[in-house]
Chain A
Amino acid sequence: DTAVSQTPKYLVTQMGNDKSIKCEQNLGHDTMYWYKQDSKKFLKIMFSYNNKELIINETVPNRFSPKSPDKAHLNLHINSLELGDSAVYFCASSQDADYQETQYFGPGTRLLVL
């Protein structure tokens, strides 16, 4: 019974394409996140939504647009993909946006842009 799931697990695409990654959590959490893990394994926060409202928006190109249709889903759409977007993208959720809350992570989506 997966708590935080992401689709797809792997995504290989050409430069310039538009792609989406979906994330769903069945934990009843209010807050969801997107992280990017680069080739050096650094995990960096990109976005955070609390009850469908954006609360963290780090310095991320406008080509990245998160969408939260409801509090159980947070999708990531990427326009005009570039080589530098190749990374592993992790979705996470927590009970709320309190910084003491444990975050639960999805399995990651490995994106390769050719």
Chain B
Amino acid sequence: AQSVSQHNHHVILSEAASLELGCNYSYGGTVNLFWYVQYPGQHLQLLLKYFSGDPLVKGIKGFEAEFIKSKFSFNLRKPSVQWSDTAEYFCAGGPPGNTGKLIFGQGTTLQVKP
């Protein structure tokens, strides 16, 4: 069955620390991958997405993610986090097809201490 899993459920970092959140997917063939973020009190919004081409994708607010096909991974990274990065982060995968169906991971709560 198609699935997306996030192994870090709750991450606590100090400001300026580096961040890496894990995401693994289980699809064969073409897959689109997304990272969404939900800041406290705000809507879920797109951080970045990967369809094809350069496996290193850059998103908003200094985030990037690397698609590694051999590891079925799409980890999210940021070299230096800020207090304002405190949020819920969701990895999602879109299987091939034209239904727009997204499968989400369980989410990771990131808490950045000032």
Contacts and interface: CB of A to CB of B under 8 A. Distances in A.
Nearest to B36: A105
A31 B100 contact: yes
A43 B94 contact: no
Size bracket of the A interface? 20 to 34
Contacts, number: 68
B88 A98 contact: no
Interface stretch (B12-20, B45-53, B66-74, B78-86): B45-53
Contacts of B34: 102
B61 interface: no
Given A41-B106, A43-B90, A105 B100 contact: no
Given A105-B43, A106-B43, A45 B101 contact: yes
A50 B100 CA distance: 10
Contacts of A35: 104
Interface residues of B, number: 26
Given A43-B90, A102-B49, A107-B43, A97 B104 contact: no
A96 B99 CA distance: 9
B28 interface: no
Given A48-B101, A99-B100, A4 B46 contact: no
Interface string A80-110: 0000000000101010111111111111100
Interface in A48-81: 48, 50, 55-56
Interface in A12-71: 31, 33, 35, 40-45, 48, 50, 55-56
24 contacts: A31-B100, A35-B104, A41-B88, A41-B106, A41-B107, A42-B106, A43-B107, A45-B102, A50-B100, A56-B100, A56-B101, A97-B98, A97-B100, A99-B94, A99-B95, A99-B98, A99-B99, A99-B101, A100-B32, A102-B49, A105-B36, A105-B44, A106-B43, A108-B43
